[in-house]
Amino acid sequence: MGLFSFLLQVNVALLVFYSFYRLFLQKETFFMWNRVYLMTAVCFSFALPILRFEWLNRSAVSQEMELKIADILVTETGTPNTNVDWMQLATTLYFVGLALATLLLTYKLWTLRAKLRSPLKGTAFSFFRFKRVDPNLSDFETINRHEEVHIQQFHSVDILLMELAGLIVWFNPVIYLYKSSIKSIHEYLADEAAAEFEGSKRNYALLLLSKALGVNPELTNSFVRQSEVKKRILMLQKERSDQRSLWKYLWLIPLLSTLLLLSSAVNGSKAIGDTGATHGLVAQANGLNRNVNDTYGATFPGGLNNFITYLKEATKYPEKDLKKGLEGKVVVTFVIDKDGSVTDAAVKESVSPDIDKEALRVIRNSPKWIPGKGNGAPVRIRYDIGVDFKHKK
């Protein structure tokens, strides 16, 4: 799986999960459940492209084996032009953005470290187990309780994880909505506890309004963020959600299942946007998987060397990619059926639409094979093959 296939799946999942949150969960007062939901959504979004359940892709194969076939090198002489390689440009821009986002996060942490050592007068904030509350503040005990809740519930862990996720998908505005939402939930949780400590939601709301603590350090849980005060007071006074509303979280099960199915389908067929530009490497192979006794693989007429010769002679370098000087290895997965025909051919690692199409065409047009057998009966067998397109210098 390539970088852009991974990023596409992650960002689609992030968008779907956050849309669900905004539509169904944001107005509920199940703050802890919402916190768990958002953090789980981010973690699952990044894990989704990696979670591959082979039975989703191979349920139609009654008995298969995976064999490695040596890479086929397809070379062609031509004059590359100077057209812009948009994929390479996009990759460069992504890593430049990643570097800048990393520098920004580093700066935030450095600034926070400095302010933890010399906190400004009149501030109240916490970060992990570090707490800075000016003892001269009025209602010090209530404000201190608020910050204690942030520490006890490990809210800084959520913030840091969100920041790390933001590094990888720095270009996606949705991740910044996640950051804002999780910080709001942290404040709602701390406000509940602090209002209970105060003994009056009304008095606590007045306390929030009365505090003008200025700008607190980034990445911290601060007692007052001016832009959040109104929302926090409204949520504090809001009637608690009915327990029956908890059923909404059950919709997460079909949502997760659907995304997992779609991701497995994508990973099992073609990696969208994957450059797959590996050079001089053999295809990843799982070797011969002998699940039953007396099992052996399918055979191309005349043997494997004849199959390699067929591929070399039949494969043509796409003219457009040749002119661009585009190179790379396509990994194609296919099944030799019980009658020896080639079926279920799909791109497992991509280079470009034209190169992928050419590799698939040649595999699909292959002559019939002698089918493999297991316990004396024909079986379906899956193969992976790498077709390496290289421009002859």
Structural domain boundaries in the chain: 3-51+86-261, 59-83+276-391
> When comparing pLDDT for 37 and 391, which is higher?
37
Q: Tell me the percentage of the chain whose pLDDT exceeds 90.
A: 30
According to the model, what pLDDT value does residue 212 have? Answer: 47
> When comparing pLDDT for 296 and 151, which is higher?
151
pLDDT beyond 70 at 66: no
pLDDT beyond 60 at 393: no
According to the model, what pLDDT value does residue 76 have? Answer: 53
Type of residue numbered 210: S
> When comparing pLDDT for 97 and 195, which is higher?
97
SS (H, E, C) 110-135: HHHHHHHHCCCCCCEEEECCEEEECC
Residues in the chain: 393
Distance between CA 112 and CA 106 in Å, rounded? Answer: 10
The DSSP bridge partners found for residue 74 are 389
The contacts found for 159-166 with CB under 8 angstroms, 24 or more apart, are 159/183, 159/186, 159/219, 159/221, 160/219, 161/39, 161/42, 161/43, 162/42, 163/105, 163/108, 163/219, 165/42, 165/46, 166/101, 166/105
According to the model, what pLDDT value does residue 104 have? Answer: 95
Q: Among 95-109, 222-236, 338-352, whose mean pLDDT is lowest?
A: 222-236
Distance between CA 126 and CA 132 in Å, rounded? Answer: 6
Distance between CA 165 and CA 178 in Å, rounded? Answer: 10
Question: How confident is residue 219, by pLDDT bands cut at 50, 70 and 90?
Answer: low
According to the model, what pLDDT value does residue 158 have? Answer: 96
Q: Among 278-282, 301-305, 379-383, whose mean pLDDT is lowest?
A: 278-282
> When comparing pLDDT for 106 and 219, which is higher?
106
According to the model, what pLDDT value does residue 311 have? Answer: 83
Among 110-124, 135-149, 207-221, top mean pLDDT goes to 135-149
pLDDT beyond 80 at 121: no
Question: How confident is residue 319, by pLDDT bands cut at 50, 70 and 90?
Answer: confident
What value does the mean pLDDT take over residues 280-308? 54
Check the CA dihedral 344-345-349-353 and report its sign.
negative
Q: Which residues of 261-296 are buried (b: 16+ CB within 10 A; e: fewer)?
A: ebbbebbbebbebbbbbbeeeebeeeeeeeeeeebe
Q: Report CA Rg, the chain.
A: 29
Distance between CA 157 and CA 151 in Å, rounded? Answer: 10
According to the model, what pLDDT value does residue 291 have? Answer: 39
Note the pTM of the prediction, 2 decimals.
Answer: 0.62
What value does the mean pLDDT take over residues 106-112? 92
What value does the mean pLDDT take over residues 40-53? 85
> When comparing pLDDT for 95 and 269, which is higher?
95
Q: pLDDT averaged over the chain?
A: 79
pLDDT beyond 90 at 298: no
- Locate 145 and state its tokens: 């309780």
According to the model, what pLDDT value does residue 277 have? Answer: 30
Cα angle: 84, vertex 361, 342; to 5 degrees: 145
Distance between CA 388 and CA 281 in Å, rounded? Answer: 9
Distance from chain centroid for Cα 7:
6
Q: Among 130-134, 219-223, 248-252, 336-340, whose mean pLDDT is lowest?
A: 219-223
According to the model, what pLDDT value does residue 282 have? Answer: 28
According to the model, what pLDDT value does residue 392 have? Answer: 65
